[in-house]
Structure formats: C-alpha cells, structure tokens
C-alpha cells in the first residue's frame, strides 16, 4: 500500500547531485543537433556566438527568478507550487495539465528516440531496414530509466551524476581538439559537407528564429525544484544547483560553438545538419571520430532522459496533493520512497507518444507557446509573492529586482510571439490543448467544489 505523506521523501540529494540534475537535463541533444539550424539563420561567426551568449543571459534571468522561488518555497513540484501560491489552483492545474500530460512525455520521448537513433547507428542497425528497431530501443530505454528511478532517488541521482560527468568531459574534449586544430597542432582531414546558402531576410527575424532553438537547448534549469523535498538543505542547495548547473552548461555551450566554428566555416556548420559534431571531429582527427562521437551522443541523450524521468514523476505527485483529478498520483512507496504511480504513468504516456508520433518532437512543438507562457508567469510569481508575503524568509533574492524579472517576462513574450509567427498551426493546437485542460478543471471544480480553496500544502 502506498501512502501520501510528503515527509516520506528521503533527503538524499546534495548540491552536486542537484546541480548534476540541472546540467545533465540541459546537456542533451540540442547542443549537437540544433547548432546547424542556428548557424543557418545567422551570417557570421560573431553573430552565432552572440546569439548563444544572449541565450545564456536570458536563461540566467529565468534561473535567477526560479532560484528565489525555490529557496523560499522548497516543496516538491517546483513551478506548480509557485504558480499555485501566486495565481491560484486554476493556473497551477493548467500548468500540470500541459507539463505532465503533454510536455514531459514529449521531452522524454525526444530523448529516448534520439538515444535509439544514436544507439542503432553505433551498433550498425539502420532504421531504413527496420524502423521498428529504433522504436523498440526507445521504448526499452524508457522502461530502463523508469526502473532506475522507481528503485529510489539515490539510484537515479548516482546514474545522473556519472552520466553528467561523462557528458561534460565529452564537450571538453571537443573544445580541446578544436583548440589544438586552431593553433595548428592538428591538420585538416577531408570531409564531405555541403555548405548552406547564406541566410536571407530580416536579421532581426532570423536572429529571433535562431533564439527559439537556442532557448530550447537551454531548457532544463527548472528541474531540481521538482525534487525539492529530496534535497538536503534546500534553501541553500536549490539556488546553487539551479545557477551552477545552468552556468556550467552555458559556458560549455558557448565554447563548443566556438570550437565548431574553429574547424568549420559558418556555411559548412549550417549545412552539416545533425552531424555538426562528427563532421568537425572528423576534419580535426580523422574518420575514427564518428564512433566516439556517436557513443558520446548516446551517453548525452540517456543522461538527459534520466534527469527528465526522475523529475517528471514528481510533477503529478505534487499536483495530486490538492487537485482531485491527479489525486491517485499523490503517493509514495513505503519501501523506495518514490512516486511509483506517477513514474509509471509517465512511462506509459511517453511510450504512447513514441508509438503514435514516431518523433515526439512534433508533440513538443505543439506546447512551445505554453512553455513560454508558464515561464513568464513564473517570473511574475516573484513579483506577486514579494508583494503578498513580504515577511517570507527568502534565503536567495533575484539580483537587480524588479528589472531582471521584467526583462525575462518580456523575453518570454517575445518568444511566445515568435512561436505564433513561425508556427501558427502548432500554436493553435497548444491553445486547444489548454482549452481541454480548462474544461477538465471546470468539471473538477463542480465535482469537488472544495478542491480549489486554499493553497495546498503550504508552509
């Protein structure tokens, strides 16, 4: 029998484990597969580096806001808790509706499918011969990751720590190799890469489109607050994990892009597709780099997927504390102290996304507008809660308040408009998904009229 007492969580995550959760969730596939698309929209090396630097700055604004909220309200559920406290149960319900039922299965599915593709390439099994091979590997990886995190948060954290360390070392290796190439220690090897045509159109529009991919790559700085009640000394360690994990990833991302550009021209980088890293390393060290890079990509995607699986199960758990439609998920196993029900259902949703969509990236794009909507609301929560609860102890405060939260809210608005302009059909689907969630909340409020009162498990 499972029980619904949040105190049953074990505080076993220290600052390194919590930071690895952030860094490991951020360092996934984006830094390998989206860099070409960014380069394709920007005309020069400086513009590319500036775009990634600006992306890191925008992400830092959001992370600083989240760090204040996480330190002041260290409860499992992260953003759900902050939104409920500041805007009420309806907005918090809508966030969980989009996050747990749509965005998290889509994100986890992307990582699983990407891992399967890299794994199939590594073992020499092509998807053309049997496309179900990759799907089977993807589904198997979801089941393995779920099993790891069902066993206990400590097991999931150990796996995350190891994989994050390996991913960081892989990115550092790319940077070192590029440095050696740039100073002439390594000579160029022939590679086949078709340079892309120079971008055309308004620089502002192109720059904004590039930022969409960059900000998706930086996504993940909000992961550790989801497991707040499993972090030791959360008032101190949650801000450290959020900011430390993001800034480590941000520094590596800027340096890795500089590394790619030290070996490839911007046009070659733009034309490299998802093979930017293998092509760059092949030019610098020869053909043997492909296998090594494929293995690195497998580790990177598996590590990011593990972080998403670990935190995703806590979203429904936190929501179930005070939202009746999610009540079944608000329980932990008396033996492992993990939310087995929500972890298992998350696996079911992810596997369904893989089977139905093949590439859950399509599903994730449907929720792009919702992502920026709730990110902006999270920054607004800092302002609202400071005004509403001025005496609340805040171990960490946003630097440059209220300018920095305001800047992030504006950035979220710009990104949301960019999603609407560049992909209107998907934005419409996002609105439809949220509309269904609104209907579900309306039904809940009629069946359980007392559910919307209060602020849940506040303290």
Q: How far apart are CA 160 and CA 153, in angstroms?
A: 10
| Contact yes or no for 319/84 (Cβ under 8 A) | no
Specify the pLDDT at position 64. Answer: 93
Check pLDDT > 80 for residue 248: yes
Mean pLDDT of the chain: 82
Nearest to 22 by CA among 126, 141, 167, 125: 167
8 inside domain: no
The number of domains in the chain is: 1
Planar angle of CA 316, 321, 327, nearest 5 degrees: 65
Of 13-17, 144-148, 212-216, 412-416, which range is least confident? Answer: 13-17
Q: What tens digit of pLDDT does each residue of 58-109 get? A: 999 999 999 999 889 888 778 888 999 999 999 999 998 888 877 788 888 8
Q: How far apart are CA 446 and CA 46, in angstroms?
A: 56
Reported as half-sphere exposure (CB side, CA atoms, 13 A), residue 447 has a value of 9
Q: In degrees rounded to 5, what are phi and psi of residue 61?
A: -60, -45
Specify the pLDDT at position 255. Answer: 96
Could you tell me which residue, 299 or 178, shows the higher pLDDT? 178
Could you tell me which residue, 130 or 380, shows the higher pLDDT? 380
Per-residue pLDDT, averaged over 411-423, amounts to 81
Q: How far apart are CA 271 and CA 26, in angstroms?
A: 24
R_g (Cα) of the chain, nearest Å: 22
DSSP 195: P
Domain with 396 in it: what CATH number? 1.20.1740.10
Check pLDDT > 60 for residue 390: yes
Planar angle of CA 348, 353, 356, nearest 5 degrees: 120
443 inside domain: yes
Q: How far apart are CA 366 and CA 429, in angstroms?
A: 6
Specify the pLDDT at position 5. Answer: 41
Check pLDDT > 60 for residue 403: yes
Specify the pLDDT at position 9. Answer: 62
Q: What tens digit of pLDDT does each residue of 193-207 get? A: 777 787 777 787 788
273: left (phi over 0), alpha (psi -120 to 50) or beta: left
2 inside domain: no
Q: How far apart are CA 393 and CA 454, in angstroms?
A: 21
Check pLDDT > 90 for residue 212: no
Specify the pLDDT at position 235. Answer: 84
Specify the pLDDT at position 454. Answer: 42
Specify the pLDDT at position 179. Answer: 93
Specify the pLDDT at position 259. Answer: 95
| Contact yes or no for 354/110 (Cβ under 8 A) | no
367 inside domain: yes
Name residue 13's beta-bridge partners. Answer: 231
44 falls in which pLDDT band (50, 70, 90)? confident
Specify the pLDDT at position 127. Answer: 52
Question: Which residue's structure tokens are 């959001």?
Answer: 62
367 falls in which pLDDT band (50, 70, 90)? low
Could you tell me which residue, 173 or 133, shows the higher pLDDT? 173
Q: What tens digit of pLDDT does each residue of 114-168 get? A: 888 888 878 877 555 567 788 889 999 999 989 988 887 667 667 777 878 888 8
Could you tell me which residue, 255 or 434, shows the higher pLDDT? 255
Check pLDDT > 50 for residue 252: yes
Of 51-55, 197-201, 434-438, which range is least confident? Answer: 197-201
Question: What is the residue-wise DSSP string for 365-387?
Answer: HHTHHHHHHHHHHHHHHHHHHHH
Of 7-11, 92-96, 275-279, 385-389, which range is least confident? Answer: 7-11
* This prediction's pTM: 0.81
Q: How far apart are CA 20 and CA 192, in angstroms?
A: 36
Question: Which residue's structure tokens are 């120079």?
Answer: 198
How buried is 362 (Cβ within 10 angstroms: 0-12 exposed, 13-18 middle, 19+ buried)? middle
Q: How far apart are CA 46 and CA 131, in angstroms?
A: 40
Task: Using DSSP, state whether 70 is helix, strand or coil.
Answer: helix
Parent domain of 32: 13-452
4 inside domain: no
Percent with pLDDT over 90 in the chain:
24
124 inside domain: yes
Specify the pLDDT at position 140. Answer: 93
Question: Who's near 135: CB < 8 A, 6+ residues apart?
Answer: 113, 116, 354, 355, 358
Per-residue pLDDT, averaged over 393-412, amounts to 92
Q: Is the peptide bond before 244 cis (omega within 30 degrees of 0)?
A: no
Count CB neighbours of 200 within 10 A.
7
Nearest to 40 by CA among 376, 322, 267, 320: 267
Specify the pLDDT at position 381. Answer: 95
Specify the pLDDT at position 365. Answer: 63
Specify the pLDDT at position 455. Answer: 41
How buried is 136 (Cβ within 10 angstroms: 0-12 exposed, 13-18 middle, 19+ buried)? middle
How many Å separate Cα 375 from the centre of its chain?
Answer: 12
388 inside domain: yes
236 inside domain: yes
Check pLDDT > 90 for residue 181: yes
Q: How far apart are CA 173 and CA 165, in angstroms?
A: 12
Structure tokens at 65: 């806001």
Check pLDDT > 90 for residue 360: no
Specify the pLDDT at position 215. Answer: 84
Count CB neighbours of 151 within 10 A.
14
């Amino acid at each position: 029998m499972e029980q619904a007492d949040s105190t049953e969580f074990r505080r076993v995550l220290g600052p390194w484990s919590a930071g690895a959760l952030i860094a490991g969730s951020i360092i996934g596939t984006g830094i390998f597969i989206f860099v070409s698309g960014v380069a394709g929209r920007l005309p020069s090396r400086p513009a590319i580096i500036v775009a990634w630097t600006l992306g890191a700055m925008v992400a830092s604004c959001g992370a600083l806001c989240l760090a204040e909220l996480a330190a002041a309200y260290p409860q499992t559920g992260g953003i759900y808790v902050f939104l409920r406290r500041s805007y009420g149960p309806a907005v918090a319900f809508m966030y969980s509706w989009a996050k747990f039922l749509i965005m998290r299965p889509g994100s986890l599915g992307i990582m699983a499918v990407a891992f399967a593709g890299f794994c199939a390439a590594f073992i020499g099994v092509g998807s053309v011969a049997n496309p179900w091979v990759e799907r089977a590997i993807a589904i198997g990886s979801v089941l393995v990751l779920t099993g790891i995190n069902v066993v206990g948060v400590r097991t999931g954290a150990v796996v995350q720590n190891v994989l994050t360390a390996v991913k960081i070392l892989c990115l550092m290796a790319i940077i070192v190799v590029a440095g050696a190439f740039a100073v002439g220690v390594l000579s160029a090897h022939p590679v086949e890469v078709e340079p892309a045509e120079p971008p055309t159109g308004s620089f502002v529009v192109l720059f904004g489109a590039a930022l969409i991919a960059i900000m998706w790559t930086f996504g993940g700085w909000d992961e550790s607050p989801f497991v707040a009640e499993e972090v030791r000394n959360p008032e101190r360690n949650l801000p450290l994990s959020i900011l430390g994990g993001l800034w480590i990833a941000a520094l590596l991302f800027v340096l890795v892009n500089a590394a790619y550009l030290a070996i490839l021209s911007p046009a070659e980088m733009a034309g490299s597709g998802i093979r930017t890293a293998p092509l760059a390393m092949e030019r610098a060290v020869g053909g043997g780099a492909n296998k090594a890079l494929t293995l690195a990509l497998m580790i990177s995607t598996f590590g990011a997927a593990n972080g998403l699986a670990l935190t995703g199960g806590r979203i429904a758990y936190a929501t179930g504390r005070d939202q009746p439609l999610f009540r079944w998920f608000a329980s932990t196993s008396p033996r492992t102290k993990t939310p087995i029900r929500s972890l298992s259902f998350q696996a079911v949703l992810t596997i369904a996304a893989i089977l139905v969509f093949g590439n859950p990236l399509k599903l994730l794009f449907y929720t792009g507008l919702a992502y920026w909507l709730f990110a902006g609301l999270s920054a607004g929560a800092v302002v609202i809660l400071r005004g509403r609860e001025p005496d609340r102890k805040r171990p960490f405060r946003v630097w440059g308040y209220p300018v920095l939260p305001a800047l992030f809210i504006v950035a979220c608005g710009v990104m949301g408009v960019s999603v609407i302009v560049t992909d209107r059909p998907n934005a419409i689907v996002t609105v439809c998904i949220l509309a269904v969630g609104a209907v579900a909340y309306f039904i809940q409020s009629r069946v359980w009229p007392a559910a919307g009162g209060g602020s849940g498990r506040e303290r």
